[in-house]
Chains A and B, each alone.
Chain A
Amino acid sequence: MAKAVLMQGNEAAVEGAIVAGMRFFAGYPITPSTEIAEQSALRLPQVGGKFIQMEDELASVAAVLGASAAGMKAMTATSGPGFSLMQENIGYAAMAEIPCVIVDVQRAGPSTGLATSPAQGDYMQARWGTHGDHPVIVLSPSSVLETYTLIIRAFNLAEKYRTPVIFLMDEIVGHLREGVELPKAGDLIINRRKMSFHDGANKQCYFVPEGEYVPAMKPFGQGERYNITGLAHDQSGFPTNDHAIAGRLIGRLLDKVNRNVDNIVRVEEYAMDDAETAVICFGGTARAAMSAVLEARAAGRKVGMFRPITVWPFPEKQLRARLPQLKSILMVEHNYGQMLLEVQRIVGGAVPVDFLGRIDGTVIPPTDILEKLEEREAKQHAQ
């Protein structure tokens, strides 16, 4: 291991992305993500990469998709209001299968909201922000080191599945400074999209062989001329109004993620082996949750932490596997109950699901979590 360095979450996102091969960044300033643009502007030219400050977030994501079509690993970063502006082209990336990483450092909304305060109110937007049924992968880090390593995974998944990957940070992690020991470059896996089309009669840009889900992607300007569109298209990449072809296309796009859930989903389970209560949380909220769990354990209570790292698709199988041992669940998130809906769907009333959330831009302290756990215990004793 290398010696520890002091690093900010937003900075770690850039450093990790560069290690992953990001060589193009287009963005627009917005709190609390701006340091990602600043750091990219500074660092990218040092590694032969390119930074451009665009006129708005609509342009930023469009430029990222253009650069990715030209063969570069590309990224943009924003926060709530800018993330809303990016939604249309996130759908385009899903439809045209252009790999990209979009960082959303969440802040308190709605609208301009509390620009410098933490929140996790974009959980649903990250999944459903763009119109139409579409695949998406969303990852959420809870520390500076994890920001660094997980954003590498974000690029790997984007390249592997040719789909947009949302890197869902929050102000807590984005502005956090921690000492981190960065892993050696040799210990990291870096993926790249398949770049050459299938030969012969099937030399079509969106041809996918039986049993596979992801077509190869040749950068523009490298010999084979082809067409990209956001319209429903056939394997040759041209628009079609044929409903059977359109249905197969959208089905395959969704299958890319749905049939590879085991490969995509990651979850951190802490002290869950004998846990009777699970505290479920993600991103920056996990820091308070972890303190609360440690304190509860010290007091001899069987509490564990279940933290989705892949927040979309939700680690459904993993949570289901824990249900038989659980007596209750406490969902903690900095919103009015968004991941809660997903948890309730999976739990289906099997155990009580309590909720602790915040919408005022303040941070949930561990004491509030402990209090909530005690409330549940008191209820259980009373029964």
Chain B
Amino acid sequence: MPSDLVHEYMRIDHLPQIWCPGCGNGVIMHDVAVAIQELIEDPETGLRRDDIVIVSGIGCSSRAAGYLDFNSIHTTHGRAIAFATGIKFANPKLHVIVLTGDGDCSAIGGNHLIHAARRNMGLTVIAFNNDIYGMTGGQYSPTTPNGDKATTAPYGNVDRPFDIANLATGAGASFSARGDIYHARETIDIIKEAILHKGFSLVDVYSICPTYYGRKNKKGDAVEMLKWQRDNLIPTARWYSMPENERADKKLIGILSYNDYPEYTEEYAKILEACRKKEKVKEGAKR
């Protein structure tokens, strides 16, 4: 039986989803739905369901937009953040959440990611990061680790990978964080903070792709891949109590950078207000 969450926030008619057994994307979609549910149920947030717009690009990740029962738009490959920019700027009261993948947002759409971060456009970007192009059958992506195998890297990947959260920080994102699918509760809380954040926010959520990435690189099944996350991705509370030498080959799950830079649409609203006053004065003078 579907849970209350599924009944309330997912489009039952369009389930089950198309993802492979063991795929991490369903967990991330669940985390996003729970985060939104908890924010809506908290009267202090003032978040309304119809003010949420889900925007996605192309790839395994981006199918999530169709399953979530909100205003949703499944756009073209790489362009989700650019579409989202248009939606947010046209109607700043909307909460625009972009569901994207590692290839979608850091390869073909990398330019839009860094520029939305730089502008501090009030979007929340959730990157479903599974280190591979899954929809097309397992080609290496910008986050595939160096040396790992993929159908287009049969002798090992020569590229060095992006760390998407650090990339966003470097581009000036006012909120950049990392989550994963093992630490679901922590990731839900991070997503909630990202949605409440006024400016640009990015959460790089480490997913798993047992079918194409795991199998090719002998990482074991989904359970083994989850255990790897458990042992190597460390939530904030534990991270800072860990000795430095133990952190070296591990990654922090939590908020990596935070700033309260002015948000783009709010800054533009000031220009609109100034112009409105000027036009009013002009009209008055005409009379």
Contacts and interface: CB of A to CB of B under 8 A. Distances in A.
Interface of A: 24, 26, 45-46, 48, 50, 52, 54-56, 58-60, 62-72, 74, 88-89, 92, 96, 219-223, 225-231, 238-239
Contacts of A70: 53, 86-87, 90-91, 94
A261 B271 CA distance: 42
Contact of A59 (B53, B85, B268): B85
Contacts of A62: 75-76, 79, 82-83, 85-86, 112
List of 10 A-B pairs having minimum Cβ-Cβ separation, nearest first: A66-B86, A63-B86, A62-B82, A67-B90, A70-B90, A59-B82, A67-B86, A66-B83, A229-B74, A66-B87
B279 A46 contact: yes
A58 B77 CA distance: 11
B89 A52 contact: yes
B89 A50 contact: yes
B14 to A, nearest CB: 6
Interface of B: 11, 14, 49-51, 53, 55, 65-66, 69-76, 78-79, 82-91, 93-94, 111-112, 115, 268, 271-272, 275-276, 278-279
Contacts of B69: 225
Nearest to B108: A58
The B interface is mostly helix, strand or loop, or mixed, namely: helix
20 contacts: A45-B272, A46-B279, A50-B90, A56-B111, A58-B79, A58-B112, A63-B82, A66-B82, A66-B90, A67-B86, A70-B90, A71-B91, A220-B73, A220-B87, A227-B66, A227-B74, A229-B66, A231-B74, A238-B14, A238-B66
Nearest to B72: A227
B76 A89 contact: yes
Given A24-B89, A48-B276, A221-B53, 9 more contacts: A26-B85, A45-B275, A59-B79, A63-B82, A63-B89, A65-B83, A69-B83, A225-B50, A227-B74
A236 to B, nearest CB: 8
Contacts of B82: 54, 58-60, 62-63, 66
A48 B271 CA distance: 10
Nearest to A239: B66
Contacts of B275: 45-46
A220 B111 contact: no
B11, B65, B272 — most chain A CB neighbours (10 Å): B272
Contacts of A54: 82, 85, 115
Nearest to B56: A229
Nearest to A23: B90
Nearest to A43: B275
A59 B115 contact: yes
A59 B111 contact: yes
B140 to A, nearest CB: 23
A230 B55 CA distance: 12
A95 B213 CA distance: 33
A233 B143 CA distance: 32
B73 A223 contact: no
A154 B65 CA distance: 32
B71, B78, B93, B112 — most chain A CB neighbours (10 Å): B71
A223 B85 contact: no
Contacts of A228: 72-74
B111 A221 contact: no
A45 B271 contact: yes
Given A66-B86, A220-B91, A230 B74 contact: yes
Contacts of B11: 238
Contacts of B94: 70, 220-221
A237 B134 CA distance: 24
Contacts of B93: 221
A71 B93 CA distance: 13
B89 A222 contact: no
A226 B74 CA distance: 11
A336 B111 CA distance: 36
Contacts of A69: 73, 83, 86-87
B100 to A, nearest CB: 13
A58 B69 CA distance: 28
Contacts of A74: 86, 90
Given A48-B276, A59-B115, A63-B85, A71 B90 contact: yes
A74 B82 CA distance: 14
A339 B51 CA distance: 47
A26 B279 CA distance: 23
Contacts of A92: 75-76
Contacts of A46: 275, 278-279
Contact of A226 (B71, B79, B88, B278): B71
Given A24-B89, A55-B115, A238-B14, A66 B84 contact: yes
B109 to A, nearest CB: 9
Contacts of B78: 58
Contacts of A225: 49-50, 69-72
B145 to A, nearest CB: 28
A199 to B, nearest CB: 18
A264 B75 CA distance: 28
A69 B88 CA distance: 11
